[in-house]
Amino acid sequence: MGLNRLFIDLDKFEEHDKKCARECSYYYHPGNYGILSLQEMATYALICRKCERENCVSACPFEALEKGPDKILRRHNMRCTSCKTCSHACHSGVILPDFIPYMSYNCDLCLERLEEGELPECVEVCKCGAIQYGDFKEDEEKNLYAIGKNVVVHSVHWERDEVKKAAKK
C-alpha cells in the first residue's frame, strides 16, 4: 500500500493565488498560510542555484541564512527580520518576498486532522491542483521530488536540467 503525502506543485502557485482561497489550520498563527514554509523549503532544495558564493547569505545582516552541508539553504526564523535584503541580493529571483514574512509561517502537515480522517485545510480549499494529498511518489522523469518523508513536490529541478544540458553539449 502506498504512503499518503502532501503534494505541492510549485508551477501552479500563481494560478492558485488567483483562483483558490488561502486556508490553514495552524493553531498558533490565525491567518497563517503554512504552505508558504513548504514552498520556501522546496524552492531552496530544487530551484536555488546553490551558488558557490551565495549573495543571499553574505547580504543578510543578521546571519539568518545558512547553506548546509547538503548545499541547501536554510533560514533561521528567529534571526530573520524580514528585511528582504536576501531577496534583492539573489540574482536568480529564488527568494520571493512572500517567503520571508516577519512572523514565520510553519506547516505542521495537519497531522491532527489527518489522524481524525480529515484532509489538511489548504488541500480542501485548493481547486487548481497546486496542493493535494494522496499516494504521491518521487519520479524524476515527471519532475516529482520527495522533500522529507511527507511531502512530494512537482517542480523543475534546476541542477538536473543543467546537468542534462551539459550532457548534450
* Residues lying near ligand SF4 in the complex (CB under 6 A): 48-51, 54-56, 59-60, 62, 64-65, 73, 75, 80-86, 90, 92, 94-95, 100
Residue 25 vs 55, nearer CB to ligand SF4: 55
Alpha-helical regions (H) of 24-157:
35-46, 55-59, 85-89, 111-115, 121-125
Dihedral in degrees, nearest 10, Cα atoms 15, 16, 20, 23: -160
Is residue 93 exposed (0-12), middle (13-18) or buried (19+ Cβ within 10 Å)? exposed
Residue 45 vs 122, nearer CB to ligand SF4: 45
Question: Which distant-in-sequence residues (6+ apart) come within 8 Å of 5 by Cβ?
Answer: 133, 134, 135, 136, 146, 149, 150, 151, 152
Least separation in angstroms between CB 55 and ligand SF4? 4
Residue 50 vs 157, nearer CB to ligand SF4: 50
Cell of 48: 536555488
Least separation in angstroms between CB 37 and ligand SF4? 14
Least separation in angstroms between CB 43 and ligand SF4? 8
Least separation in angstroms between CB 123 and ligand SF4? 28
Residue 36 vs 126, nearer CB to ligand SF4: 36
Residue 132 vs 155, nearer CB to ligand SF4: 155
Least separation in angstroms between CB 35 and ligand SF4? 19
Q: Of the candidates 79, 2, 77, which has an alpha carbon nearest to the alpha carbon of residue 40? A: 77
